[in-house]
Structure 1
Amino acid sequence: MTSTSPLVSVILATNRSSPFLAAAVSSVVAQTYPGWELVIVDNGAPDPVALSAVVAGIPRTSIVRVPPPVTVSLARNAGVTASGGDLLVFLDDDDVWHPERLERQVALLRAEPSAPASYCGGWHMDANGRPFAPSWPAVPANATEMLSGTARLPHICGAMLIRRHAFAEVGGFSPELSMMEDFELALRLLGRGTFACAPEELVGYRRHDGNVTGTGIDNVRVRRSALDGILTRHAWAAGARGDERTAALLREHRERERARASHDAGLATLAALRRRRIADAAREARWGTSHSATAYFGAIIGRLTRGGGSRRW
């Protein structure tokens, strides 16, 4: 490919027999931008023969096998190593793309050569592919706004199209992470500059029973702890290298996330008490009061006031 039409390496890591894999691959094949290659990373798929059958006959497609168990971060890094494109994009085995996704984001990076990555909006869909509200827009924001948490980072890793040199410069995905790895990578990429924004809905994110990012209480607890730890570590690292401005932005981001999570913990406390799940209520109370007591009690008081006191939570 030429410098004006760079090769895009699509990295798809899978460790399961996903009933949605064929749809994900088909959405790559249907792209209006022709300059792509597809690297499937098999990091423990139970039926390698069936996996090979899904991509049989698709041009510019290869399968890389890495022995499990490995994190999704290691699997994606292995896919990048096996690829050759100047631009990188990551696709989960249950998501799909708008046909013009690559064309629009490649053009955006061509127009903004200083941007280390671009990101786009998308839509939610159910297991049958039916869209449902709300969609998730991509709102333009600079690196300072994203680092401080006044603007949200890209919704999912798959919404970003990343320059290979920027990915290499920040060291790729942190290999130990199997959750929030996309958020952590985005924080490091922001150190290279502001992302280019494609506000259109170009990625379909599928909600189903097998999602890693489920909304169950145990999953919420793990994710909020991971988020808090990532921001704490990055703020410390920025301070250690003498970048106090970035450290302050990241501490601000952490406090915003703690307030949001403590607010949710307050609501979760009431819900657990209503169901007589005392242990769950106690765990949520400990999180909320230790991280942002103001937000925690504010959520409880607000819910009780709006709900008519203790009669209805």
Structure 2
Amino acid sequence: MSGVSVIIPAYRAEATIGRAAASLLAQTHPAWEALIVADDGADYAAVLAGAGIADSRFRFLTTGRIAAGAPAARNAGLAAAALPLVAPLDADDLYHPRRLETLVPLALEHGAAADNVAVVRDRDGAALGTLFAPSAGVRMLDADGFLATSVPLFLMVARRLCPPWPEDMRFSDDVVFNLRVLERTGRLPVALAPLYEYRQRDGSITVGDDAAERADRDYRHMLDRLERDGLGLTDGDLRRRTADAIQAKRALNAAFSTAHQAGRVTTFQEYLSTCGKLCAIPHPGA
């Protein structure tokens, strides 16, 4: 049975880390380790113990810094990962019980795999939508299909193919990471059952009043990196298509900023759910 190293960055995560950990304990696929990487100096082993959670599969690491960022924490976890597959889990999110069981065979066959993502408002549990229409099937996703999405996609990747997360980004590191994986695999399967719960939590980096500004700063930085070093992508045509998609994402982010300033929505995902664009963003010329 192939195992999965689940990497959990933890920054001021005392209120939610127990929920994330419990979702791993509930997995029907038992071959996993969880690398909880403190980015705030906290003792998360003690936090979990206080919640009655103790399991030898939990390993506790640190970035050695304060607020180095989730990408730096994930890279620390990646360096320590011991199992053939790697998967991220944010400390305020959770896996549904069959997530690992579903994705492991797909990732072993294709080098990487993902599942549908359910977006949930944390304060009241309201469902804001899913990345794709839920079903029991599997669809194949290429780089262009991924660039058209507007909900984070959390990949399970063969460790031998796993690139580092870009530490110079805070909002869009997952976009760059996923593109690097897709350039290596070509396509990857996405299980259409929503098995990852992406929680929109008040006070988190993606929900603050400056979220649109932060996102646009990352988008501008990505465009600059594409010109300077290609973001680590070797395919020139993919770099060009990525630049076009980022400009489209900037336009959508600007529309969200306007709606947020007018008090019509609180978060980007709420904006997408209200305007019917949860699954995709427009591409220039499309």
**Which secondary structure state, in structure 1, belongs to the residue aligned with residue 5 of structure 2?**
strand
Question: How far does the alpha carbon of each residue in 1:195-253 deviate from its partner, in whole angstroms, 9 at most, with x for none?
Answer: 2211110011111212211263x321221231243245236535999x5xx32333233
SS at match of 1:191: helix
1:55, distance to aligned residue in structure 2 (A): 7.1
Distance in structure 2 (CA, Å) of the matches to 1:79 and 1:91: 11
Residue 276 of structure 2 corresponds to which residue in structure 1? none
1:239 and 1:247 in contact (8 A); partners too: no
Task: Give 2:237's aligned residue.
Answer: 248
Aligned counterpart for 1:124 among listed residues 119, 123, 127: 119
Determine the structure 1 residue equivalent to 2:12: 16
RMSD of the alignment, in Å? 3.1
SS of structure 1 residue aligned to 2:77: helix
Which structure: greater strand fraction? 2
Amino acid at match of 2:65: P
Alignment match, 2:202: 209
Per the alignment, in what secondary structure is the counterpart of residue 206 of structure 2?
A: coil
2:280: which partner in 1? none
How far, CA to CA, are the matches of 1:239 and 1:30 in structure 2?
37
Give the corresponding residue for 1:76: 74
Secondary structure of 2:127's match? Answer: strand
Specify whether residues 37 and 129 from structure 1 end up closer, same or farther in structure 2 by C-alpha distance, changes over 3 A only.
farther
Aligned residue in 2 for 1:179: 171
After superposition, the C-alpha distances for 1:87-125 in whole angstroms (9 at most, x for unaligned) are 001111111111000000012123xx3x33111112122
Task: Flag the 1:41–1:129 CA change in 2: closer, same or farther, 3 A.
Answer: farther
Q: Which amino acid aligns with 1:254?
A: A
TM-score normalised by structure 1 residue count: 0.71
Query: Post-superposition shift, 1:60?
Result: 1.5
Contact preservation (8 Å) 1:24, 1:94:
yes
- 1:228–1:254: 8 Å Cα contact kept in structure 2? no
Larger radius of gyration: 1
The one-letter code of the counterpart of 2:96 is H
In the TM superposition, 1:134-283 aligns within 5 A as: 134-137=129-132, 140-146=139-145, 149=147, 151-152=148-149, 155-156=151-152, 159-167=154-162, 170=163, 172-193=164-185, 194-214=187-207, 216=209, 218-234=210-226, 237-238=229-230, 246-262=235-251, 265=254, 268=257
User: Any unmatched runs of 5+ in structure 2?
Assistant: 264-282
* Structure whose residues are more often helix by fraction: 1
Please give the secondary structure, in 1, of the residue aligned with 2:229: helix
Are 1:236 and 1:247, in contact at CA under 8 Å, matched by a contact in 2? no
Q: Distance in 1 between matches of 2:19 and 2:259?
A: 40
Q: Judging changes above 3 Å, is the alpha-carbon distance between structure 1 residues 49 and 162 closer, same or farther for their aligned structure 2 residues?
A: closer
Cα distance in 2 between the residues matched to 1:40 and 1:165: 21
CA distance 1:206–1:12, shift in 2 (3 Å):
same
Q: Tell me the percent identity.
A: 24
Distance 1:239 1:49 in 2: 36
Distance in 1 (CA, whole Å) between partners of 2:256 and 2:94 is 33
Aligned position for 2:84: 86
With 90-99 and 177-186 compared, the bigger mean Cα shift is at: 177-186
Q: Which amino acid aligns with 1:38?
A: A
Q: Is the CA contact 1:18–1:94 (under 8 Å) kept in the aligned structure 2?
A: no
Tell which has more relative contact order, 1 or 2 (C-alpha 8 A, sep 6+).
2
Question: Secondary structure in 2 aligned to 1:18?
Answer: coil
State how many pairs are aligned.
257
Query: Which blocks of at least 5 consecutive residues in structure 1 are unaligned?
Result: 276-294, 296-313
Q: Mapping of 1:286-301 within 5 angstroms?
A: none
How far apart, in 1, do the equivalents of 2:4 and 2:231 lie?
A: 35
